[in-house]
Amino acid sequence: MTETTLSRCPIAHAPADAPPVPAHVPPERVLDTRFAQGQIAFDLPDPYLPSDVMRDPDVPRILYYPWPTSGRQHGAWTVSHYEDIRRVYEDNDIFSTEGAAQFQALAGETFPSIPLGIDPPDHGRYRKFLNPWFTPVAMNDMEPKIRAIVTEMIDAVVKDGEVDIAYDFGRIYPVRVFLNLMGFPFSMFDQFLEWEYAILHNPDIGAKAEAVKGILAYLRGFIAEKQANPDETLGSYIANGQMDGQPLTPDETIGMTWFLWLGGLDTVASTISQMFRRMALDTELQARIRANPEIINSAVEEFLRVQPLVNSGRRIKKDFTWHGVELKEGDWIACINSSGNFDEKQFACPRDFDPERKNNRHFTLIGGVHICLGAHLARRELRVLLAEWLSRVPPFRLKPGADTTVIPGLLSIRNLPIVWDAKAVS
């Protein structure tokens, strides 16, 4: 990286009050990219647009982000180009997930988040154990229950002519599906979301640790109850599970139950909020999907591509040089999916929303062997919702005065009131 390139770099250096970085990190790589990390709110039709600068020719391909990421109390290297992100996700000889999403360490726990925090080949054993619950065939079996939840919730609001699609619908619908799948009682809904918000979004480490302690105490009691009274839920399947003829260890049962709980509460909820925001702002897009229900599947895939909620990280397993930078064993590297999903070398006209886009291999659900375990469930929930909503609810728009600000990440949108002509409801 030349001095000329540095002088032209359009991204500012990290401010003086940013956390310190390891000694081997070149100071010129430490830039302020919080705008691409889901830390800053935008009121733009496309809230992910600012991330395009990450692929500017004058921006080094590898940067260092000094602020804590994903439960770790330190920064990480970052990559933003599609081909670099793919390498991180697929090269298991160099990049590891051990320690990923390890929020439980804040409470002194040492068990891994399973299966994410397990590298191959053991990772495959855990995926094989859990996969039967998340295959397309399993989703076909679940779909009637998913559709029943959607139609019940739509019927409850359709004649009102308005709903807060983020808080009163998107926040609740996928969590109901998840609670039913796991066997968690709906009475825990509010407490679960309170714990989850503290863990993922509260910057106070003490608050995070207390929330982790609270949910783990609950989950261990839940596991014990399912062991005493088995049923047909996924939670019971894990609590009473066996692999290779041996019962799962306590660390394995809590590791799986915890990780599914952590990942099951707000990913689809945030996607729904952003999906309806886009359709409310782009009434032509809404009308196109409404008139052509056969494109719902590909439209959902495009909604996922343009709404990458998570920038996933990996631990570096050995020293190596990449793009002229010395990376050290034990360093972390974060994949800026909010940039990679718009890489023009991978996607034609990446900023155009194309509901019929072909070969849509985005990273919203991550990539490689650690591709999201619940990917088929997330897609099914979104497809069923879109089909039922557009067939039952008249054209909708934002309620006058609605705040359209978005944090482009998991925190996303808290409230998004939409309205429609209740008299047009059949």
For position 104, which CATH number holds?
Answer: 1.10.630.10
pLDDT confidence of 34, banded at 50, 70, 90? very high
What pLDDT does residue 7 have? 62
Given a cut of 80, whether residue 70 has pLDDT beyond it is: no
CA distance 156 to 423: 15
121 preceded by a cis bond (ω within 30 of 0): yes
pLDDT confidence of 3, banded at 50, 70, 90? very low
Domain containing 255 equals: 5-424
Which residues face 314 on adjacent strands? 333
Which 3 state secondary structure label does DSSP give 170? Answer: helix
Handedness of CA 133, 138, 144, 149 (dihedral sign): positive
CA distance 31 to 91: 26
Main-chain dihedrals φ then ψ at residue 391, nearest 5 degrees: -90, -15
- The mean pLDDT value for 73-95 works out to 96
| pLDDT cut 90: percent of the chain above it | 91
pLDDT confidence of 113, banded at 50, 70, 90? very high
Which tens digit of pLDDT belongs to each residue from 280-325? 999 999 999 999 999 999 999 999 999 999 999 999 999 999 999 9
pLDDT confidence of 6, banded at 50, 70, 90? low
Given a cut of 60, whether residue 373 has pLDDT beyond it is: yes
What pLDDT does residue 2 have? 45
- The mean pLDDT value for 412-417 works out to 93
Q: Across the chain, what does the average pLDDT equal?
A: 95
> How many domains are there within the chain?
1
- Kindly report which listed range (55-59, 204-208, 290-294) carries the lowest average pLDDT score: 204-208
Say which residue the tokens 């650690």 belong to. 370
Instruction: Indicate the pairing of strand 76-79 with strand 332-335.
Output: parallel
Torsion-angle region of residue 134: left (phi > 0), alpha (psi -120 to 50) or beta?
Answer: alpha
CA distance 355 to 374: 22
Residues contacting 137, CB < 8 A, separation 6+? none
Report which of 245, 239, 309, 246 is spatially closest to residue 272, judged by C-alpha positions: 309
Which tens digit of pLDDT belongs to each residue from 237-263? 999 999 999 999 999 999 999 999 999
- Specify which of 7-21, 148-162, 261-275 reaches the highest per-range mean pLDDT: 148-162
Residues contacting 334, CB < 8 A, separation 6+? 37, 65, 69, 70, 76, 77, 78, 79, 311, 312, 313
